[in-house]
Amino acid sequence: MANNLEGKTIAILATDGVEQVELTKPKKALEDAGAKTEVISPADKKLKGWDMKDWGEEIAVDVPLKSADPSKYDALLLPGGAMNPDKLRMDPDAVKFVKHFFDESKPVASICHGPWMLVETGAVKGRTVTSWPSLKTDIQNAGGTWVDKEVVVSNGVVTSRNPDDIPAFNREMIDLFSKGTKTSGQKEPKAA
């Protein structure tokens, strides 16, 4: 059944400074579609969210990154916020965790500044992605094609620009994850 995530376990990788709504709203949408979600973080018990212009709520960590096994997850969600992915891309364990999903051809969803992790793992090469506009040059320099659209699906990866895009992001993420569409290292053909 389309958009049914029963039996799937989704990893959500985040740390302090994650844009709160980019974690909480997609997490709820995944759970409403039947998935089990687990927040994974370098923080052991809680991380601190960012709420647009100031610190937000504490978010419980389900699995510390140091003990997280990426092979037990069916898909990965990478929420944004400027601080969150900037910290994660400097953490070798976080980069290794994300890289596993691409090495194993598992679907990934990333929003806002989250695609920095795709750049760090080399996963944007040959993909069309969107993001917060300040990542445009990083994505292009890493071999990706950047576009300004609310949501883009490319070779098993869903990306969006910002919190306003969450409804479209959630819809496409759930659709991709429900199909079990796998990531691919192959470049998409250009439109004629």
Which DSSP state fits 4?
-
Does residue 19 form part of some domain?
Answer: yes
pLDDT tens string 108-124: 999 999 999 999 999 99
Structure tokens at 29: 């949408």
Q: How confident is the model at residue 44 (pLDDT cuts 50, 70, 90)?
A: confident
CATH assignment at residue 24: 3.40.50.880
Regarding beta strands 63-64 and 128-129, do their DSSP bridges make them parallel or antiparallel, or are they unpaired?
unpaired
Query: Is residue 184 one of the residues assigned to a domain?
Result: no
Domain region containing 41 = 9-179
112 is catalytic: yes
Position 1 in a domain? no
Domain count, the chain: 1
In a domain, 41, yes or no: yes
Residue 153, beta-bridge partner list: 158
Asked if residue 3 is part of any domain, the answer here is no
Instruction: Find the catalytic residue in 11, 21, 111, 112.
Output: 112
Q: What is the mean pLDDT of residues 53-80?
A: 97
CA atoms of 2 and 4, how far apart (whole Å): 5
Q: How is residue 88 written in tokens? A: 């994660």
Does residue 100 have an active-site annotation? no
CA angle 7–10–16, rounded 5-degree value = 155
166 lies in a domain? yes
Among the listed residues 113, 130, 144, 172, the single catalytic one is 113
Contact between 109 and 176 under an 8 Å Cβ cutoff? The reply is: yes
In this structure, is residue 188 part of a structural domain?
no
pTM of the model: 0.93
